[in-house]
Structure 1
Amino acid sequence: MNYARPPARSDLETIPRLPPWITSGRAQTLEDVSFLSGAALSHLHLVLRHDAVPKPLLRNRLALRAAEACVAFTGRPERAGELRDEIALLRPGDQPGPAGQVYQMWMRAVERPVSIRSLSRAMPHQGPERIAVWLDQSGAGQGGPVDRAALVLGAVLADAPRLEADALVLADATLAQALGWDHVIPLLAGGLMRRDMRKTDDDLRLACHEAIVTSVTEAARLAGDLAHRTARLRAVAPKLRARGSDEAVQMFLTRDAVAPSALVSLNSGRSARRFCDRLVELGVARELTGRDTFRLYGV
């Protein structure tokens, strides 16, 4: 596998920074907040177009944060570490628990280009016809992207008040389609509070606009951080001599957490563990659990 030239530092520094006036503004009206959310989304659009940003990895990590928020909405105690364990350490043929199912849904939602088919794959408990009906609530193109996402969010919650995670996936899918993005970018879940999920009409729209400003701030920061981390990994990748290392590195470039057992290209569990430890020694990966066994790694 041939790796693209690692971005030079000057290339990384061209990733645009979020203008401080977007987050420092004291907007109070719906019109003011919608202006700020639009500016934030325009900025994120530019960030996502930058070649140095590892978009699959960014979506994967944002999916974890969205799942964590959705699980918290239900009152369950699982947080990011437990969610990682449920999916990364899942054995073939096993099914994750309720919290892991939420994370799995978000991971599948961001994995493929957004469509009714891909959303049905992410939410097999919902039929494609029902998903299509909910997405149609966006008003057939009427209103701005965030307003359309809020309409879908409200429509799903009106029909099924306990399906917060499903509602947020479909709202973010609506947002992505309205903005012309190929994939779902999890944003709303990370900025909404549990009490916001019971709001309606203008109150819900206002909460969604405010959530976008908050979430885009974090997503843009994370995109820059991941761009620098993956640039370091790409720089050392050609020096890794283990057979199958190309495929292994690619997993680190696209997944939030990697279990050594998933690195089947390295042919043995011992080789995979040594490979992961080598990446940690080189400073291009981190061990994420703090455990001595059943470890997970990520950039």
Structure 2
Amino acid sequence: MTFARPEYSIDTDTLPRMPAWVTSARPEAFEDVAFLSGAALNHLHLVLGREEVPKALLRDRLALRAGEACVGFSGRPERAPELRDAIHLLRPGDLPGPAGETYLAWRRAVEWSVSVKALSRVLPTFESCQIATWLDAGNGAPVTRAVVVLDAVLTEAPRAEVPALILADAALAQALGWDHVVPLLAAGLKRTDLRKRGDDLRLACHRALISSTREAVRLAADLARRTAHLKAVAPKLRAKGAGDAVDMFLTRDAVAPGALPLPDRAARRLCDRLVYLGAVRELTGRDTFRLYGV
């Protein structure tokens, strides 16, 4: 006898969609590009205000994409699967390596509320007064503020691409009134863009934000549907500690069974159960050392 997988009907297709004129336009003039990036950011701002969007999970997944982009800027071959392994499969006493450190910096950047104190913990190689000076360097519209910060950091420390992009996203978040860093710039920029300065860098950042914001909105809608489904099946989980485990899946890009607040065998069974229910996915395709995520 076989049993059909239970179906759960979740209607979360209520998030406002980004207008087609933002996503399909291919402007050349600076004013048009700046207008569209502003429209895209405004739309993302509305989406982030929706209760059904799992904001911590969205930030964590965007941190993975930012980490992947920055690792690529440095010429390293690691991509998202390797970055996940570098962090989530670490053993006590192990070091995550250069690529893992880059990803870890982004994860820490999105975890805490935006402040000089928090950013000092994320970027310990820089003094808090220097970070404050950089963040205060930008003024004007949000994107302009972010670009000024990015330009200032890269001018003083040309090889500090990761700190520069984190601080630029922090400046953007502050200007938009967001409590946390939302990684946007890194995923939309090219390596050659980081060598630009002034108006050329500003144009590159506006273009980057159009593409990365569009992707962030799409991802927010996808995660809203997936987390709604996970919440719907959660009451059917009987394992002790299942509620805390579900909370972890609702806030983290990836989770290793060993990180769940259950005994090893129970954790693996819970993950298999959630996969069966269509609430989480196995992310590695491996038979061992598996990772799971919404």
TM-score tier, shorter chain, comes to: over 0.9
Distance change (3 Å), C-alpha of 1:22 and 1:163: same
Letter in 2 for 1:198: R
| CA distance in 1 between partners of 2:80 and 2:28 (Å) | 33
| CA distance in 1 between partners of 2:288 and 2:126 (Å) | 37
- Contact 2:184/2:209 (8 A) holds in 1: yes
Would you say 1:278 and 2:235 are equivalent positions? no
Runs of 4+ displaced beyond 4 Å: none
Counterpart mapping for 1:1-299 below 5 A: 9=11, 12-138=12-138, 142-263=139-260, 265-266=261-262, 268-299=263-294
| CA distance in 2 between partners of 1:47 and 1:105 (Å) | 25
Q: Return the offset for 1:117.
A: 1.1
Deviations 1:124-151 (A, max 9, x none): 222212211211221xxx3210011011
| CA distance in 2 between partners of 1:64 and 1:26 (Å) | 27
Aligned length: 287
| CA RMSD between the two structures | 1.3
- Contact 1:288/1:296 (8 A) holds in 2: yes
Letter in 1 for 2:21: W
| CA distance in 2 between partners of 1:161 and 1:291 (Å) | 39
Deviations 1:201-243 (A, max 9, x none): 0000000000000001100000000000000000000110000
- Contact 2:10/2:229 (8 A) holds in 1: no
| CA distance in 2 between partners of 1:215 and 1:7 (Å) | 30
Q: Return the offset for 1:90.
A: 1.3
| CA distance in 2 between partners of 1:155 and 1:202 (Å) | 13
**Structure 2 match to 1:3:** none
Unmatched tracts of structure 1, length 5 or more: 1-5
Normalising by structure 1, we get a TM-score of 0.94
Name the SS for the 1:213 alignment partner: helix
Unmatched tracts of structure 2, length 5 or more: 1-7
Deviations 1:217-270 (A, max 9, x none): 10000000000000000000011000000000000000000000100x21x111
- Contact 1:68/1:79 (8 A) holds in 2: yes
| CA distance in 1 between partners of 2:91 and 2:142 (Å) | 39
| CA distance in 2 between partners of 1:278 and 1:68 (Å) | 30
| CA distance in 1 between partners of 2:101 and 2:10 (Å) | 39
Name the SS for the 2:68 alignment partner: helix
Name the SS for the 2:179 alignment partner: coil
Letter in 2 for 1:288: L
| CA distance in 2 between partners of 1:47 and 1:92 (Å) | 38
Normalising by structure 2, we get a TM-score of 0.95
Deviations 1:69-103 (A, max 9, x none): 00000000100000000111112333210000000
Letter in 1 for 2:286: R
Letter in 2 for 1:193: K
| CA distance in 2 between partners of 1:294 and 1:129 (Å) | 42
| CA distance in 2 between partners of 1:156 and 1:180 (Å) | 22
- Contact 1:7/1:231 (8 A) holds in 2: no
Q: Return the offset for 1:273.
A: 0.7
| CA distance in 1 between partners of 2:13 and 2:64 (Å) | 26
Name the SS for the 1:209 alignment partner: helix
Distance change (3 Å), C-alpha of 1:279 and 1:43: same
| CA distance in 2 between partners of 1:243 and 1:284 (Å) | 18
| CA distance in 1 between partners of 2:80 and 2:246 (Å) | 23
Letter in 1 for 2:15: I
- Contact 2:169/2:185 (8 A) holds in 1: yes
